[in-house]
Chains A and B, each alone.
Chain A
Amino acid sequence: MPQESQRITPQAQENTQSDEHVASQQGQGEAAQAQSDDLDSILDDIETVLETNAEEYVNSFVQKGGQ
């Protein structure tokens, strides 16, 4: 069974938003910094993807249509 904490309810969404609202009141710089760290760690994870030739990668995916 998924834990209660995994459920997103509109209530939980509101809490998240109000947390963000508090964060933005504390200083938008902090929130922006957190977002940017987040993006950095995602960019680290996808580094191998970004290193490959994008056009070659895209063009290698050609196959017949399905349903």
Chain B
Amino acid sequence: MPQLHDSGSRLDAQAQPSMHHDDFARIFGLETEYGVSVTGVYTPVDAGQVAMTMFQPVVRQARSTNTYLDNGARLYLDVGAHPEYATAEAICPFDALTNDLAGERIMRTMALDAQKRLRNNPATSNATIHLYKNNADSAGHSFGCHENYLVRRFIGIDAIEHILLPFLITRQIYTGAGRFDGERLLITQRASFVDETVSSATTRSRPMVNTRDEPHANPEEFRRLHVIIGDSNRSQWAILMKCATTHLVLCAMEDAARHNTLSELSAMALADPIAANHAVNEHGAYANIALANGKTLSALEIQRWFLDHANEFLSTHATAVELTLRTDPLCSPAWIAEQWEWALDMLGDNNIEALSHVVDWAAKRMFFTRLEERGSVAPARLQQLDMDYHDVANGKLYNSLCSHGYMRTFATDQQISTATHTPPAHTRAQLRGAFVREAKAANARYDCDWTQLRLLQPVRMEATMLDPFSDVPNEQVTHIMDYLEHLSGHDSVDMPV
């Protein structure tokens, strides 16, 4: 992710102690890189060219392939010509889900619009653009879906490695999106391509957790945990659950750190995280995982250990966690723990059918198995269907599974459509969204990053928003918004005082 405007160093002046330092509030965010391809053409079309065609309208408006939207999200073209969408800051998993699904919808519209333009050209009149929310192309190039969690700074990198990593590696048994590699269906999209555990690099090597320190908040109090090991999911349940279960584990870690008992949570530290990740990818819940303490447990047993500890934590802190998730219509602590336990029980029973309504890899396995029961299916066909499942522009399989009620959905069409223009509530994304909307309405040139709003023309103005939990405009934001309102209401441009 290019950090064109890393404002980390500018933040100190405004830094105020956060009112959330001592509770369990969290900011959630999802960054998704999409893959592109074109079929129905005589000569192959380069992925970079397709991506540029998709971004033409963005460039016309923003004069850049990097822009922020009125729902608070960031839309840009990333390295390797991947269209990328980063959700706005959300304070609960459901808001992160709807903002992410809004991203799918925005990307789909851009792809179909580009397809229309391609088809206007006689040479590409039958072109079909595919936009894959997956993590690998057919040649084995990989791209990511990263999760961001705002974490209290007293959770150190070693705790992330010894406590969180075993959780993240094993949670894939129910959040894995599945990938048919030409021979077999693996549990995850991504595990085959991850080659490091914890590192600050993302393009030279692929770590499971990135330690680059850009909290986009008061750096004295928070760090941003950048999780790289996750898959791009189509299943709405999987998107919710990867955020929700990780949140509970992080809450339990923060609570333990406050009581100086963090080391008690490192019993699941792994002997070899890379080997464990490959084992989960191949064998799922029953993968044997060697622990640093010499024991061997299955991935399922490790997940049960984390669920037990999350439940133990909730037995005294459920109300406090409930309070921070109060705006989530679905993910109460009780719901998360119940869903988590249900998924582990189904995995324990090897009940793939039950899981297949909410777990991506299980849905693929059920469908592929039933297809093969009708007669032999060529590996290339399964690979194609695997890719089609992730195509948000012209894919048929996933939508069909949803419309026949096979795959369960949790966000309504209306909620997703609202989220394409409405930022998540109770976060600074509200301010960014309003700024983008007003700047566009006033025909002003603007620019943003996560902590800054910048007006470029007709006048230069800046506002810094350091607190991701605040949707209340500070003096600078009020000033810039007043000016935009004034600009919209007048033909001639008067400079504000």
Contacts and interface: CB of A to CB of B under 8 A. Distances in A.
Interface of A: 1-2, 6-10, 13, 17, 35, 38-39, 41-42, 45-46, 48-50, 52, 54-67
B81 A63 contact: yes
Given A13-B342, A45-B400, A2 B410 contact: yes
Contacts of A17: 354
Interface string B381-412: 10111011000000011011101101011111
Nearest to B379: A54
21 contacts: A2-B412, A8-B357, A48-B396, A49-B388, A52-B384, A54-B383, A56-B39, A61-B130, A61-B132, A62-B137, A62-B138, A62-B139, A63-B35, A63-B81, A64-B47, A64-B80, A65-B203, A66-B78, A66-B79, A66-B141, A67-B33
Interface in B63-93: 78-82, 84
Contacts of B202: 67
B138 A54 contact: no
B37 A63 contact: yes
A63 B408 contact: no
Contact of A64 (B141, B330, B387): B141
Interface in B329-363: 329-330, 335, 338-339, 341-342, 345, 354, 357-358
Interface stretch (B14-22, B142-150, B166-174): B142-150
Contact of B410 (A6, A54, A61): A6
A42 B388 CA distance: 13
A19 B475 CA distance: 59
A61 to B, nearest CB: 4
B397 A46 contact: yes
B406 A2 contact: no
Contacts of A9: 335, 338
A14 to B, nearest CB: 9
B1 interface: yes
A36 to B, nearest CB: 9
Given A35-B370, A67-B146, A52 B39 contact: yes
B122 interface: no
B334 to A, nearest CB: 10
Q: Give 9 closest A-B pairs by Cβ, nearest first.
A: A66-B143, A63-B47, A64-B80, A45-B400, A61-B37, A65-B141, A54-B380, A54-B384, A10-B342
A55 B388 CA distance: 13
B38 interface: yes
B342 A42 contact: no
Contacts of A46: 385, 388, 396-397, 400
Nearest to B412: A2
A34 B385 CA distance: 23
Contacts of A60: 37-39, 44, 138
Contact of A67 (B81, B228, B385): B228
Contacts of A7: 330, 335, 410
A35 to B, nearest CB: 7
A49 B410 contact: no
B36 interface: yes
B305 interface: no
A49 B37 contact: no
B286 interface: no
Contact of A55 (B78, B203, B367, B380): B380
